[in-house]
Amino acid sequence: MHLTRLCRALLPLSAAALLASCGGGGGSSASAPQNVTVTAGDTQVTITWTQESGVTYWLWYDEGTTVSTTSKTASTKVQSMVTPYPLSGLTNGTTYTFALNGRVDGGEGGPLSTAVTVTPRLAGATWNTGGSLGSTEMRGLSYGTASDSTTYTYVAVGAGGVKYKSTDGKTWTAITSNTATDFNASVYGLGYYLAVGNSGLIQYSSDISTWTTATSNTTNALNALGYSGGSVVAVGDSGTLRYSTNGTSWNTSTSPTTANLRGIAYSAQGVWVAVGDGGALITSTDGVNWTARSSGTTNNLRGVTALTSTINSVTTYMLVAVGDNGTVLFSNDGVTWTTKSSGTTEQLNSVAVIASATTATRFVAAGNNGVIITSEDGSTWTARSSGTSANLREVRRYANVFTALGSAGTSVYSY
């Protein structure tokens, strides 16, 4: 009899302990999240909503046009999110549906928000205004990790020796500079952020804050930088060529041209390509020994990029060069070049490229008066609205985002 009364007394305590262990803890569900938006990006989306104080949000998503919180084979969840929330690792061209619910103090999930369906796609078609980088023309952009951080950081350089940094490519912070000489280009490689400019200026930094000036043995302007994975090459006025295998000491290459060189790229097929004034175009297999090639144009060439794409076990190499009067050149090997119609007569200053792991490619070229054109094959080009009339001097693709910089500290981006 006494044992029965004891069991009855303990039963409520046991139930409470069981509830706490299951996450109930006296919490409650929250009402359905409001104003949920999902913006498609390149292999990613950004989710925003009205976040209420004290509410913990979970995200649920599925491939297709419906979403479930119970299907554990198709549905994926992300716990404890804060708006805005970027979700990466998605597949371009695949449709996904997203919804959120909320809970308070560890309570059960409340009702789902209105579901939103979007399809990730390649960047480059739609452009947004980024943060200002002062009032100076920006000319170079790189992306890497500082020696004292695991966070990837953008570094932008420009006229007057200015430098800026950003962790998202949207909001920029000035970096104290130790030079007033114009910078023309930047790249990350060999463990350093590297920047080159007028009067043979070369600087390097492993931590973004402290910059060291290297000896270039030239007073000619250096206009562009390329990186192959094992070496960095700088090109400049009067055919100037410099290369480095450690980022700190630089060597001289004999140039087959006296033209001002303004762009350089490395193709994974083992070919360097540099372009410049008067249609100058030179190639190298080691970054040291160079050969002049025929570009088929006398227009000044200002930028070049290379793409290696492997789809269904088939590897394709493509190179695109751009320049004055809307010039676009295409090549599969760096030796033979074909002129393509760009649809613009504006001066094109820079070109970049992105390729998905499955089926898609996109080249993006940027130039004066805010012109941006894109192409999926390097041959057929489409005009895009950049939202600016500034001269865009540099376009680069990092972290599935295209970023373009230009006059008066202008920045625009596409994801």
Q: Round to whole Å and give the CA distance between 201 and 197.
A: 5
Q: Round to whole Å and give the CA distance between 403 and 396.
A: 5
- Ranking 7-16, 26-35, 202-211 by mean pLDDT, the lowest is 7-16
SS3 42: coil
Q: Kindly provide the residue ranges of all beta strands, DSSP E only, lying in 64-199, ordered along the sequence.
A: 76-81, 85-88, 96-104, 116-118, 128-129, 138-145, 152-158, 163-166, 173-175, 183-189, 192-197
| Amino acid at residue number 314 | V
Domain residue spans of the chain? 28-118, 128-414
CATH number of 128-414: 2.130.10.10
The string of pLDDT tens digits covering residues 8-27 is: 343 343 333 333 333 445 68
State whether CATH 2.60.40.10 applies to domain 28-118.
Answer: yes
Closest CA to 360 of 87, 61, 94: 94
- Ranking 61-75, 232-246, 318-332 by mean pLDDT, the lowest is 61-75
State the pLDDT at residue 25. 52
Q: How confident is the prediction for the chain on average, in pLDDT?
A: 91
Print burial letters for 188-225: b (CB count within 10 Å at least 16), e (below 16). bbbebbbbbbbebbbbbbbebeebeebebebebbbbbb
Task: Tell me the C-alpha to C-alpha distance, in Å, between residue 405 and each of 143, 248, 301, 338, 368.
Answer: 14, 26, 19, 28, 11
Find the Cα–Cα–Cα–Cα dihedral 241, 247, 251, 253, rounded to 10°: -30
Question: Is the fold of 28-118 the same as that of 128-414?
Answer: no
- The pLDDT of 241-256, averaged and rounded, is 98
Sequence-distant (6+) residues with CB within 8 A of 8 are: none
Q: How confident is the model at residue 358 (pLDDT cuts 50, 70, 90)?
A: low
Find the Cα–Cα–Cα–Cα dihedral 342, 346, 347, 350, rounded to 10°: -50
The string of pLDDT tens digits covering residues 146-157 is: 988 888 999 999
For residue 43, pLDDT beyond 70: yes
- Name the strand (E) or helix (H) holding 19: helix 2-21
128 bridge partner residues: 413
pTM: 0.85
SS3 215: coil
Q: Round to whole Å and give the CA distance between 34 and 55.
A: 12
Two structure tokens written together for 267:
């193709």
Q: Strands of 34-40's sheet, edge to edge?
A: 34-40, 44-50, 85-88
Sequence-distant (6+) residues with CB within 8 A of 29 are: 101, 102, 103, 104, 107, 108, 109, 110, 111
State the pLDDT at residue 166. 96
Residue 383 contacts residue 367 (beta carbons within 8 Å): no
State the pLDDT at residue 17. 36
For residue 359, pLDDT beyond 60: no
- The pLDDT of 136-147, averaged and rounded, is 96
Q: Which residue has the higher pLDDT, 359 or 177?
A: 177
For residue 263, pLDDT beyond 60: yes
Sequence-distant (6+) residues with CB within 8 A of 190 are: 227, 231, 232, 244, 245, 246, 247
